[in-house]
């Protein structure tokens, strides 16, 4: 069931959702990154329900959402550098992996560490405060599917029984940056809106786990990195190179699919749209605005499935700013099916 958060019933709906959390149930809620599927992080039974609802592998730990430093320090041990990053980026799209204290092991998938984040979203912070407990929440999609950026995405993946707080579209659209603060130097495990450069300005040199290599070629730095992720039903191919060659290559692949009776779709920048003529196309945004691409990426992938497209050809974007995270996600959605031209 979707509860829309407008001014009139904001407090009533937050309190109702908080009651579900304190009773051990699940609530899907908005954040600035994507919608989360939340449970009381202090209750092993409640958190177990998340794994069942999502079909999530048991060895993939869940990020815990807090409303501030006091709550964060009850579940994790902050180093000085972790404190500096929280000071600089919280509330915001940065999850800090730190030594865990007092959490059931189902949250951390048996690890000694926990990922913690304070979201920059009034509805999420109000929910955590009203429940009075930290909320464990992965993205509110079926495991493997693109993350939800709208309440309707959550409902289409998890059904009508889940309570969904609806505050409209997530403003960022890709998941938080995850950084392991227990390694030296700290290591970015998942890229997001808070970039390596932004982090290094605060705490100096950090490492970055491989963001563009297939998992089978690597030992995953984080349990979640070994799973197929963010993927629509359509077969995704990413095409990289100079924009003229990319367009030529996509047109060739597209026309081949049409002849084979498939239903292809182009995902291209506004600037390159002109190359594709009458072919089915959606725009990922301006080549100069990776923020736009981040915001629409998962909606576009889901819409393509709804419309019955069988293949998607995605023009690579510059790996600048949040464009780095967008390309990391589309590589995974494409199962590393990359054409370099
Ligand atoms: P999700 O919440 O499903 O979008 O994904 C959370 C990501 O953070 C996954 O890739 C997890 O494996 C990763 N993560 C969460 N907690 C930890 C932790 N304690 N250590 C390493 N990675 C973590
Ligand atoms: Mg997820």
Residues 311 and 162 in one domain: no
Q: Which of 34, 54, 97, 146 to mutate to test the pocket of ligand 1 (most atoms within 8 A of CB)?
A: 97
Instruction: Quote the ligand 2 centre to 144 CA distance (angstroms).
Output: 8
Instruction: Verify that 198 and 272 share a domain, yes or no.
Output: no
- Ligand (nearest to CA of 113): 1
The reply to whether ligand 1 has any atom less than 6 angstroms from the CB of 181 is no
**Residue 135 pLDDT exceeds 60:** yes
Structure tokens at 20: 């579900």
**192 CA distance to ligand 2 middle (Å):** 13
Q: How far is the CA of 296 from the centre of ligand 1 (A)?
A: 23
Q: Are residues 170 and 279 in the same domain?
A: no
Ligand nearest the Cα of residue 230 is 2
User: Domain boundary at 160, 190, 208, which?
Assistant: 208
Residue 81 in domain:
yes
Burial readout 149-172 (b: 16 or more C-beta within 10 A, e: otherwise): bbbebbbbbbeeebbbbbbeebbb
C-alpha 93 to ligand 1 mean position (Å) = 13
- Whether 159 maps to a domain, the answer reads yes
Where a domain ends, among 190, 208, 226? 208
Are 192 and 257 found together in one domain? no
- From 62, 158, 219, the mutation candidate for ligand 1 (largest count of ligand atoms within 8 A of CB) is 62
CATH number, domain of 109, equals: 3.90.870.10
- Residue 172, domain member (yes or no): yes
Q: Is residue 156 part of a domain?
A: yes
Mark whether 169 and 315 lie in a shared domain: no
Give a yes or no: residue 219 inside a domain: no
- The rounded Å distance from CA 73 to ligand 2 centre is 24
Residue ranges making up the domain that contains 164: 2-208
∠ CA(208), CA(209), CA(211), 5° rounding? Answer: 100
Q: 125 lies in a domain?
A: yes
Total domain count, the chain: 2
**Is residue 189 in contact with ligand 1, taking CB distance under 6 Å?**
yes
Domain-embedded: residue 301:
yes
pTM exceeds 0.85 = yes
Do 171 and 105 sit in the same domain of this protein?
yes
Nearest CA to ligand 1 atom 21: 222
Share of the chain above pLDDT 70, in %: 96
Output the residue whose Cα is nearest ligand 1's atom 11.
224
Residue 189 has pLDDT above 70, yes or no: yes
pLDDT number for residue 257: 98
For the Cβ of 60 lying below 6 angstroms from any atom of ligand 1, the answer is: yes
**Residues 172 and 298 occupy one common structural domain:** no
Residues 22 and 107 in one domain: yes
111 CB within 6 A, ligand 1: yes
At 54-66, the pLDDT tens digits run: 999 989 999 999 9
| Residues 133 and 257 reside in one and the same domain | no
Lowest-confidence pick of 14-28, 145-159, 205-219: 205-219
Q: Is the pLDDT of residue 21 over 70?
A: yes
Same domain, 125 and 249: no
* pLDDT confidence of residue 213: 84
CATH of the domain at 311: 3.40.50.11030
Q: Using a 6 Å cutoff on CB, does residue 178 contact ligand 1?
A: yes
Q: Are residues 246 and 203 in the same domain?
A: no
In a domain, 224, yes or no: no
- Same domain? 36 vs 156: yes
CA of 276 to the centre of ligand 2 (A): 33
Confidence band, pLDDT 50/70/90 cuts, at residue 8: confident
């Amino acid at each position: 069931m979707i509860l829309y958060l407008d001014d009139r019933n904001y407090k009533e709906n937050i309190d109702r959702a908080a009651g579900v959390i304190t009773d051990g149930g699940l609530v899907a809620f908005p954040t600035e990154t994507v919608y989360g599927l939340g449970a009381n992080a202090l209750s092993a039974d409640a958190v177990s329900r998340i794994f069942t609802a999502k079909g999530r592998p048991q060895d993939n730990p869940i990020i815990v959402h807090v409303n501030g430093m006091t709550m964060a320090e009850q579940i994790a041990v902050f180093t000085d550098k972790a404190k500096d990053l929280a000071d600089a980026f919280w509330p915001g799209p940065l999850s800090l992996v730190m030594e865990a204290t007092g959490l059931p092991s189902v949250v951390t998938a048996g690890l000694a560490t926990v990922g913690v984040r304070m979201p920059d979203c009034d509805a999420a912070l109000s929910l955590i405060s009203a429940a009075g407990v930290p909320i464990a929440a992965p993205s509110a999609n079926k495991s493997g599917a693109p993350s939800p950026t709208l309440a309707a995405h959550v409902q289409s993946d998890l059904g009508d029984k889940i309570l969904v707080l609806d505050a409209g579209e997530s403003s960022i659209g890709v998941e938080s940056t995850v950084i392991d603060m227990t390694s030296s130097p700290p290591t970015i495990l998942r890229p997001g809106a808070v970039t390596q450069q932004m982090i290094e300005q605060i705490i100096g040199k950090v490492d970055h786990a491989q963001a563009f290599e297939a998992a089978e070629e690597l030992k995953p730095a984080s349990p979640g990195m070994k799973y197929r992720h963010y993927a629509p039903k359509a077969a995704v191919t990413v095409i990289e190179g100079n924009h003229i060659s990319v367009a030529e290559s996509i047109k060739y692949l597209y026309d081949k699919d049409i002849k084979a009776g498939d239903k292809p779709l182009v995902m291209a920048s506004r600037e390159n749209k002109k190359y594709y003529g009458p072919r089915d196309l959606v725009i990922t945004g301006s080549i100069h605005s990776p923020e736009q691409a981040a915001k629409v990426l998962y909606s576009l992938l889901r819409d393509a499935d709804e419309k019955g497209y069988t293949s998607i050809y995605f023009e690579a974007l510059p790996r600048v700013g949040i464009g780095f995270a967008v390309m990391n996600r589309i590589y995974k959605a494409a199962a590393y099916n990359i054409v370099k031209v």
